[in-house]
Amino acid sequence: MPSTPDTRYGSFRKPVFSTQDSRLSLPEAHASVPVPEGASRLRRFLAFAGPGYMVSVGYMDPGNWATDLAGGAQFGFTLLSVILLSNLMAILLQSLAARLGIATGHDLAQACRAYFPRRVNIVLWLACEVAIIACDLAEVIGTAIALQLLFGIPLLLGACLSALDAFLLLLLMRLGFRWLEAFVMALLGLIALCFAVQIIAAAPPVAAILKGFMPSPVILTNPQMLYVAIGIVGATVMPHNLYLHSALVQTRTYARTPAGRREAIRWSTLDSTIALMLALFVNAGILIVAATAFHTTGHQDVAEIDQAYTLISPILGLSIASTLFAVALLAAGTNSTVTGTLAGQIIMEGFLHLRMAPWARRFLTRGLAILPVILVTVLFGSKGVGNLLVFSQIVLSMQLPFAVIPLVMFASDRQKMGEFVLSRPASLLAWGVAGIILILNFKLLYDTVCG
């Protein structure tokens, strides 16, 4: 639809959106969180705090657990460097997503629709949907395993019960977006607390941890280690989170002026950076506990969540450790379902201008995720489900370029970003991150095809 560019929303050739326009990102929550005028810097930052924690959920979902457990049990602390690198890449990419949403008034899906040809948008949309289904698959498996560990519910029944979380999302959205953010942040705090207790009980060697954060060339030369490492990248840098973050930052009532946008970008970037450091602590904590409890005690074959649950209490000598492990897993699965549903809504509305009721969207994607879980459980049992969980993270890693490349393109384009375009050094760094992701994915594809 032709129109003259509007500087309030960047240079995308789209008409200015009104607050009643259904094409706004998350229209029911758009500009719904007030930012107090004339308040202290702390109060204004707290008004912007929230979207970063919503996004960080995807960086510590059940899929991360599978790859982190496998990495720690098999290779000790070596892959801590991969977790750190992935987290640093995530901090950069999420800051670009926030910048895009605030500077242009478009989320990433809307920006793709406004700029790319229809055929390209269809490919990008399908890639996004595959990523969300893969993420939902991890949530189904994680929630089902947690329900089995805590309450003895069979995997198949737990997978079916996981679809009921759609009603939880509806309730929270009715209460208001701040309630949704508070719920997510409370569960994140619970997850962090559970792993803090386990790390204290494990008493890992500090020197080995510090060494693990230093990159090692063996990661690239060992095919098994590289497979798990790419899984960690896929589990950490989540493609749908880039779409999600570019929409969530628009829920604040910041002034739609250059000065207001600059402040919003600054606070939103700080919010996501702090939140993703929490995700780094949780992911590193999972790997550290696995390395200490399993790798150094002759249990290098532990790669399943239920195996870790059974062994962690007797090995650590803390009876409550297994329960904390399962509670944190359930909290992670519940949190991920909330943000996954929102991301699905943003992607469908942004690419297709098609609006679907949240509960319908939830049951659709959850149904598509439950079917392979049921099939694999029947054919291969719980071990097959564990392998499926790791495989879902590899699928997510393969989808990353379809989100990262458009994001970096937009953020580096002065015509679209105006004064909020990335500086030359930041743009080169962002393209470097995109290049690393592409290289890792091509390496994974080559190893898979060539056996």
Please answer whether residues 135 and 63 qualify as being in contact, where contact means their C-beta atoms are separated by less than 8 angstroms.
yes
Please answer whether residues 237 and 86 qualify as being in contact, where contact means their C-beta atoms are separated by less than 8 angstroms.
yes
Predicted pLDDT of residue 9:
38
Predicted pLDDT of residue 374:
72
Q: Divide the 451 residues of the chain into consecutive groups of 10 and give the mean pLDDT of each group.
A: 39 40 72 86 92 88 78 91 91 95 93 92 87 77 86 83 72 82 91 90 91 90 84 74 92 91 95 93 90 85 78 87 90 81 83 73 64 69 66 73 92 92 94 86 68 58
- Distance separating alpha carbons of residues 339 and 181, to the nearest angstrom: 10
- Distance separating alpha carbons of residues 371 and 391, to the nearest angstrom: 15
pTM of the model: 0.85
- Distance separating alpha carbons of residues 58 and 275, to the nearest angstrom: 11
Q: Which CATH superfamily is domain 39-449 in?
A: Amino acid/polyamine transporter I (1.20.1740.10)
Question: Can you give the chain as a three-state secondary structure string?
Answer: CCCCCCCEEEECCCCCCCCCCCCCCCCCCCCCECCCCCCCHHHHHHHHCCHHHHHHHHHCCHHHHHHHHHHHHHHCCCCHHHHHHHHHHHHHHHHHHHHHHHHHCCCHHHHHHHHCCHHHHHHHHHHHHHHHHHHHHHHHHHHHHHHHHHHCCCHHHHHHHHHHHHHHHHHHHHHCHHHHHHHHHHHHHHHHHHHHHHHHHHCCCHHHHHHHCCCCCHHHHCHHHHHHHHHHHHHHCCHHHHHHHHHHHHHECCCCCHHHHHHHHHHHHHHHHHHHHHHHHHHHHHHHHHHHHCHHHCCCCCCCHHHHHHHHHHHHCCCCHHHHHHHHHHHHHHHHHHHHHHHHHHHHHHHHCCCCCHHHHHHHHHHHHHHHHHHHHHHHHHHHHHHHHHHHHHHHHHHHHHHHHHHHHHHCCHHHHHHHCCCHHHHHHHHHHHHHHHHHHHHHHHHHHCC
pLDDT tens for each residue of 266-317: 999 999 999 999 989 988 998 999 899 888 888 877 767 778 888 888 988 8
Q: Give, in order, the Cα–Cα distances in Å from 181 to each of 131, 187, 338.
A: 23, 10, 10
Predicted pLDDT of residue 317:
86
Residue ranges per structural domain of the chain: 39-449
- Distance separating alpha carbons of residues 356 and 103, to the nearest angstrom: 27
